[in-house]
Chains A and B, each alone.
Chain A
Amino acid sequence: TQLLEQSPQFLSIQEGENLTVYCNSSSVFSSLQWYRQEPGEGPVLLVTVVTGGEVKKLKRLTFQFGDARKDSSLHITAAQPGDTGLYLCAGRYNFNKFYFGSGTKLNVKP
């Protein structure tokens, strides 16, 4: 059972385009994290959102946590080839555990 559903699974776009990745669940999470993972490496944390309705910006990346703390989105403005990678959301659940979604594989073509 996948607690966190990510969409789309794959996304291939041209440099300069905007995109949004979604992370949805029927469960409530105390916090939600977004990671980026490159081939052969472990995930690297981009952001943690804690409060329902929270919006965080990291340069061209905007992260939003749903009001009910069940869903989140990642928006990238003017994507660049360096943004290419696997984007994972992870929800903190039952204090100790983080449940990861299956990821969105993003390819930004120059």
Chain B
Amino acid sequence: GAGVSQTPSNKVTEKGKYVELRCDPISGHTALYWYRQSLGQGPEFLIYFQGTGAADDSGLPNDRFFAVRPEGSVSTLKIQRTERGDSAVYLCASSLMGVEETQYFGPGTRLLVL
């Protein structure tokens, strides 16, 4: 079956703009994770969804970042008033049930804030 897909694959925006990043998890996976990976670093946890609810959003860096998963499938990561420091690869992963299961990662969205 299809893996995790993320759109867009690349996004260039200007400082101060609003962006939305989309994640389509593997069908039937109830758990969904967002990570941010800066150049030369490992992924950094942002938020974990179990179904429609955010089970743990403690990794979101500040209130400019927000994520939703209204129907328990597709998730959108929203960044307001983007800053140059937000430039990174944003990775999404899904797993069948939760943290005990294998996480399958998408290819990421490369965000560049000019």
Pair A43/B105 contact, Cβ less than 8 Å: yes
Measured in the bound complex, the distance between the Cα atoms of B100 and A3 in whole Å is 20
Closest Cβ of chain B to A52, distance in Å, is 18
**What A residues does B42 contact at CB under 8 A?**
4, 6, 88, 90, 100-103
Pair B48/A100 contact, Cβ less than 8 Å: no
**What A residues does B93 contact at CB under 8 A?**
42
Measured in the bound complex, the distance between the Cα atoms of B99 and A92 in whole Å is 9
Closest Cβ of chain B to A31, distance in Å, is 9
Closest Cβ of chain A to B108, distance in Å, is 6
B43, B104, B106, most chain A CB atoms within 10 A: B43
Pair B43/A43 contact, Cβ less than 8 Å: yes
Binding site for A on B (CB under 8 A): 4, 33, 35, 40-45, 48, 55-56, 58-59, 91, 93, 99, 102-108
Closest Cβ of chain B to A74, distance in Å, is 14
Measured in the bound complex, the distance between the Cα atoms of B4 and A97 in whole Å is 20
Pair A97/B107 contact, Cβ less than 8 Å: no
Measured in the bound complex, the distance between the Cα atoms of B26 and A42 in whole Å is 14
A102 with B48: in contact, given A41-B107, A42-B107, A96-B55 (CB under 8 Å)?
Answer: no
Chain B facing A: main interface SS: loop
A40 within 8 A of B: yes
A-B CB contact pairs (8 Å), 29 listed = A4-B42, A6-B42, A40-B107, A41-B108, A42-B106, A42-B107, A42-B108, A43-B91, A44-B105, A45-B102, A45-B103, A45-B104, A48-B102, A90-B42, A90-B43, A92-B99, A95-B99, A96-B55, A97-B45, A97-B59, A98-B33, A98-B45, A98-B99, A100-B35, A101-B42, A102-B41, A102-B42, A103-B40, A103-B41
Measured in the bound complex, the distance between the Cα atoms of B44 and A43 in whole Å is 12
